Each structure stands twice: as C-alpha cells, then as structure tokens.
Amino acid sequence: MNWFTFSDHLTKRLYIILKLTGIWWLFNVPYAFLGMNLLAAPDVGSVHTIFIIGMVLLPFVAIPATVATLAIARRHMKDDDAFPFLQVFWKSYKREYRKSMILGCLNAMMAVVFYLALQYYAGMSLLLMIVFYTLLIVTPFFFLFVYSFLVDQELPLQAYLVNTIFLLLMHPLNAILVILTLMITTYILWAAFPPLLIFIFPGLAVLIVTYFYQKSMGAEIKKRQPVHNLNANH
C-alpha cells in the first residue's frame, strides 16, 4: 500500500468517524449543555446534580442515539457508505426507540445499583468492593453488545440479554479486547488532545464495538455452517 492509498483510506475512515460523532451529538444536545454546566460547576453538590440529571436522561436520550449510531456503523461496514446516512439513522432511531429506552433503563438502574453497592461495601469488604467496581466498569461494555444485537436482529427484549451473555461467554477474548481497546483509545485521545474525546471518540467507539460484535457473530455463524450443511446433505 503506497502513501496515497493509505492517506485516502485514512481520510475516509476519519470522515465516517466524524459523521458518526456528529450525528450522535446532534441527538445528544442535552448532554452538551450538561457538559458545559459541569465545567462551570461551583461546588460538589452541583456536580452530583448534573450527574443525576445525566443518568435520568440516559435511557431517553443517550441510549437511543447510541443504538441508532450503532445501526449506522453496522450498515457502513456492510455497504461502505453506499446508503442514505441520515435517513437510515432516523429510521433506526424511531424503530428501536422503545426497546432501546427499556434496555437503557435497565442499563442505568444496574449502573446505579452497582455504584451504591460499591459505596456501601468500600469500607467493609475489599473483595466485594472489587466485585462491584468490576461490575460497574463492565456494565456499559456489556450493554454496548446488547445494543449491537438490537440493531442486528429482531428479538424479544429478554433474548437480547441472554444472547449477549452467551456471545460474550463463547468469545471472551473479543469482549476483553473491546474493553481494552476502548480504554486505550480513551487514554490516547486524552493524552494527545482532550477535545478529541468530544470530536472523535463517540464515532470511533461505535466502530470498534461493531467490529468486535461482528467478529464474534461471524465466528458463531461459521461454527454452525458445517452443521447446517451436513443436515442439508441428508
């Protein structure tokens, strides 16, 4: 691959990342205002209030926008931009809003429960503190796979959770790589230039999650193909 080919490939990737980030922020305007208020927060009490508002808005604003952005990332990896970007986003946003809101409520509730449990057990048991701290970290990554299932398949709500657990247990390496890749990406962007987290990270994160989700699903489909072929021959 020569320099011009590499440069063209990099420019296209950056363009899709910026598009994904832009449309994600377009549907997350309340969080932009919360972020500005957070920077100007005069005391710890104000920070806690902003955090609570952010958690309340999560299932109704951030999660539906994230689900629709994941749908765009999935379509991009499949069709490579040969589709109406905004139209596909809006269609997915409306179609999956109810399910994403319900799953988002579960996501927020679990995060709050694990956070409160962490605060309660922090001074009582080191083991329980580690357990709830780990659960608090893993929960958002788990739900990113749940949301990837949501835009990929039409299933009952409970099935998304069960299938995600099964997929992650069958492909733990991909689950670990998602967590490590997103954490390392966050660190690199923060160390290089913190505003990159605003302009780059949302779009890059959904591409990373989509890549590892499709890798896990592809492996599952490949495992089942010989069985189907054998049955077909009989």
* 120 vs 128: CA distance, rounded Å: 10
pLDDT digits (tens, 9 = 90+) for 214-231: 999 999 888 877 544 434
Cα(first)–Cα(last) distance of the chain, in Å? Answer: 46
Angle at 204 between CA 200 and CA 208, to 5 degrees: 165
* 50 vs 94: CA distance, rounded Å: 27
Can you give the residue ranges of every domain in the chain?
Answer: 3-222
Tell me the residue ranges of DSSP E strands in 128-194. none
pLDDT digits (tens, 9 = 90+) for 21-37: 999 999 999 998 898 88
* 215 vs 218: CA distance, rounded Å: 5
| Amino acid, single-letter form, for residue 12 | K
pLDDT of residue 232: 44
**Predicted structure pTM score:** 0.89
CA 140 distance to own-chain centroid: 7
Q: Report the percentage of the chain scoring pLDDT > 70.
A: 93
pLDDT digits (tens, 9 = 90+) for 116-158: 998 888 878 888 899 999 999 999 999 999 999 999 999 999 9
